């Protein structure tokens, strides 16, 4: 059925789309939303670049210094920068133009990648100076994620949130897998200098995608959420504490990621020490982790609006994970472990994706940047602490015993969360 050619979109102040234009965008099918497709592409390229850069820098540190302390220094700097400035970056995402913030982050990281490559391989700069450059690059990356995530709702409309969130998770996983794999190949084939230069190019490509997306819909800011930077930053914590649903998500999501990342690390140790997996089998195990996650994401995308009582499904996934890890700890073969690993990834996707959909649907657009900033700060720190504790325990008691205990503890946590976090459980 034909349609008339629509006139040029009406623009509001500063060239931003008006509310009428925003609604028109929301009514489009998700796949026809050009602006969303382009920033999603940019986000995927940016995640690819982050993972690529992480492996390239890690290999350089190991090959150059051979020091575990140097590797730890890089990780600690990343964690400290994220912990100290993540919530502030989210507040900036609500105060400034989000598209401009994403562009600035990508361009700065691209420039920093070129500077780091020259500093490492041409100038042979001392390690402390390189650490400073890496910290600056990490600081800039903090602004990209909250600006992107906070823009999704206004770009796609609330009726497309489930499909959009599922697509984001799929793209995120594909980008991470390909980035990690491509980095190792590139360093081996072309050397560290070329690999880090490629990282810079990926960030510039991400910036081009964001630029081609055009201006984002205008976000109306109510007077009750306006104020000085410090007031708005503090207001994010006040909002979280005052809203039972968002408070519950901020508690539950980091716990989920802490348990999941710890379990995956223990599975990798078991694959080598207990199951004595060969390289092919170990590669299959590594592939099944994101495969399960993508399977869960795909099911949620396909279910669309037919999925009811989303809150209950969060806890169904959570309550299945604990026993699944306990069963996985008693498996004697890597091949028998594969379906359990896929199932664990699918259940984890069910939990995390649905809580993300709840956040996007319930948090006002004008607050989403700072809420994602706070959540990102916690979720980037908690897994590192969990991995540290679990690795020490695994050395003492063995990965098998620790994974079984972790599964039992997760089951207890799941029961407590299902009983106590009513705002999630009863969510429609």
Choose the CATH number for 236-425 among 3.40.50.1100, 1.20.1250.20, 3.30.360.10, 2.60.40.420: 1.20.1250.20
pLDDT per residue over 99-153, tens digit each?
Answer: 999 999 999 999 999 999 899 888 888 888 988 999 999 999 999 889 998 889 8
Place of tokens 């695994």: 394
User: 257 phi and psi, to 5 degrees?
Assistant: -65, -40
- Give the pLDDT confidence score for residue 114 in this predicted structure: 93
Contact by Cβ (8 Å): 285, 337: yes
Q: What is the pTM of this model?
A: 0.79
Q: Could you count the other beta carbons within 10 Å of the beta carbon of residue 29?
A: 8
Which architecture does CATH list for 29-219?
A: Up-down Bundle (1.20)
pLDDT at 15 over 70: no
DSSP helix/strand/coil, 290: helix
Q: What is the DSSP letter of 395?
A: H
DSSP for 160-175 reads GHHHHHHHHHHHHHHH
Looking at residue 66, what is its pLDDT?
66
Q: Which of 143, 37, 1, 172 is nearest to 82 (CA)?
A: 143
Cα 76 from Cα 84, distance rounded (Å) = 12
- The H or E element spanning position 387 is helix 368-397
Residue 374 in contact with residue 87, Cβ under 8 Å? yes
Question: Which residues make beta-bridge pairs with 17?
Answer: 11, 217
Return residue ranges of the chain for CATH 1.20.1250.20. Answer: 29-219, 236-425
Q: Which two tokens stand for residue 268?
A: 């990798």
Cα–Cα distance for residue pair 139/371, rounded to 1 Å: 18
State the Cα–Cα distance between residues 98 and 384, nearest whole angstrom.
Answer: 29
> Cα(215)–Cα(131) distance, rounded to whole angstroms?
35
User: For 25-51, what is the mean pLDDT?
Assistant: 81
Closest CA to 380 of 27, 107, 142: 142
């Amino acid at each position: 059925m034909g349609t008339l050619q629509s006139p040029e979109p009406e623009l509001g102040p500063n060239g931003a789309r008006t509310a009428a234009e925003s609604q028109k965008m929301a009514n489009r099918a998700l796949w026809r939303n050009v602006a969303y497709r382009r920033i999603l592409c940019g986000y995927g390229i940016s995640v690819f670049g982050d993972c690529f850069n992480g492996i390239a820098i890690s290999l350089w540190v190991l090959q150059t210094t051979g020091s575990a302390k140097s590797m730890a220094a890089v990780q600690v700097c990343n964690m400290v920068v994220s912990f100290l400035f993540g919530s502030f970056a989210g507040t900036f995402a609500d105060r400034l133009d989000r598209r401009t913030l994403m562009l600035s982050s990508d361009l700065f990281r691209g420039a920093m990648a070129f500077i780091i490559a020259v500093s490492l391989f041409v100038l042979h700069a001392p390690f402390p100076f390189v650490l400073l450059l890496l910290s600056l690059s990490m600081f800039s990356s903090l602004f990209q994620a909250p600006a992107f995530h906070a823009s999704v709702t206004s770009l796609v409309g609330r009726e497309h949130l489930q499909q959009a969130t599922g697509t984001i998770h799929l793209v995120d996983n594909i980008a991470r897998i390909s980035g990690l794999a491509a980095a190792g190949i590139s360093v081996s084939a072309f050397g560290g200098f070329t690999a880090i230069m490629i990282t810079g190019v990926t960030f510039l490509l991400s910036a081009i995608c964001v630029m081609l997306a055009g201006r984002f819909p205008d976000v109306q800011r109510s007077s009750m959420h306006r104020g000085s930077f410090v007031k708005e930053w503090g207001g994010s914590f006040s909002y979280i504490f005052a809203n039972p649903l968002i408070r519950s998500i901020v508690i539950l999501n980091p716990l989920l990621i802490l348990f999941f990342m710890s379990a995956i690390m223990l599975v990798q140790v078991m694959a080598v020490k207990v199951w004595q997996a060969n390289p092919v089998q170990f590669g299959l195990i590594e592939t099944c982790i994101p495969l399960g996650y993508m399977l869960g994401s795909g099911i949620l995308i396909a279910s669309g609006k037919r999925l009811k009582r989303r809150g209950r499904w969060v806890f169904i996934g959570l309550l299945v994970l604990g026993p699944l890890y306990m069963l996985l700890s008693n498996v004697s073969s890597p091949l028998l472990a594969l379906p359990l690993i896929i199932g664990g990834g699918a259940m984890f996707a069910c939990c995390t994706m649905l809580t993300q959909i709840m956040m996007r649907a319930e948090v006002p657009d004008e607050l989403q940047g700072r809420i994602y900033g706070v959540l990102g700060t916690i979720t980037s720190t908690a897994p590192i602490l969990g991995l540290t504790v679990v690795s020490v325990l695994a050395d003492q008691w063995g990965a098998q015993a620790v994974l079984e205990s972790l599964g039992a503890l997760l089951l207890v946590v799941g029961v407590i969360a299902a009983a106590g976090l009513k705002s999630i459980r009863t969510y429609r």
